[in-house]
Structure 1
Amino acid sequence: MTAPGSSPSARPTIEDVLASGIAFNADGLVPVVVQEHTTRAVLMLAWMDAEALRRTARTGRATYWSRSRGEYWVKGETSGHVQHVRVLALDCDADTVLLEVDQTGPACHTNTATCFTGREIDVRHTEP
């Protein structure tokens, strides 16, 4: 969320960002793309509301809103596969969050490294 060349101390707080307006969907949620900080691998997609964003910013632990269970969950709380947040950023349209994390263990609940591991789809390129 810092402009190139600006200092980290100029970064807005989560309250500043929430006050300036995040484009939450009709359910009050915003999608969160989770990326491993060191390898840059995309680990998963999850959802947050304003409170999950606050908890994540305050604790440094990735906290999401479970749409299926209707409750907050801290990644790794039961599995031990913790996500320590290194970067919390908002995209240019303020409708998607990027979390860069240090991932401990597999990111996916299926015990794979990412939620996309082994789920690649064949792409056939055809010339017009």
Structure 2
Amino acid sequence: MKTAIIILLSLFSTFIKAQEKPKDTLFFTYDDKYIKTYVEIPNHFYIKDGGGSNNGNFYFTEIKTLENPSVKSKEICLKKFIRSSKFYNKNKNPKLNDYTLWKYLTDFTIVLVKDVNGKKRYVQVESSYIIE
């Protein structure tokens, strides 16, 4: 009896995983003036508007480099995306709500598109948030 219950539970968890909806992908243009990296942590990408508060700091963490993404999509300017969002208020200090931006972007697959010597390089990243 216990074996039957364990088998049913494992099948149920498999069916739940199969029902998960794949994440939408956002392609952001990599802008050296807006995205900062540091030598000590080269796989972290900090945005110019992020951080600066005692509450925490938003950044992207590199997952992997994609050789040939199967879906070609229009690239979005990251700076325009953030500054036109509900997470950014130029009249407040800090201007960007890092936590809510991080929470929102966790629902997406994010790819930074870098132009390296005339060729596009696709870097898959995930949104990250750290409390300082």
TM-score, length-scaled by structure 1: 0.26
Which structure: larger Rg?
Answer: 2
Which protein is richer in helix relative to its size?
A: 2
Greater relative contact order (CA < 8 Å, ≥ 6 in sequence):
2
Which protein is richer in strand relative to its size?
A: 2
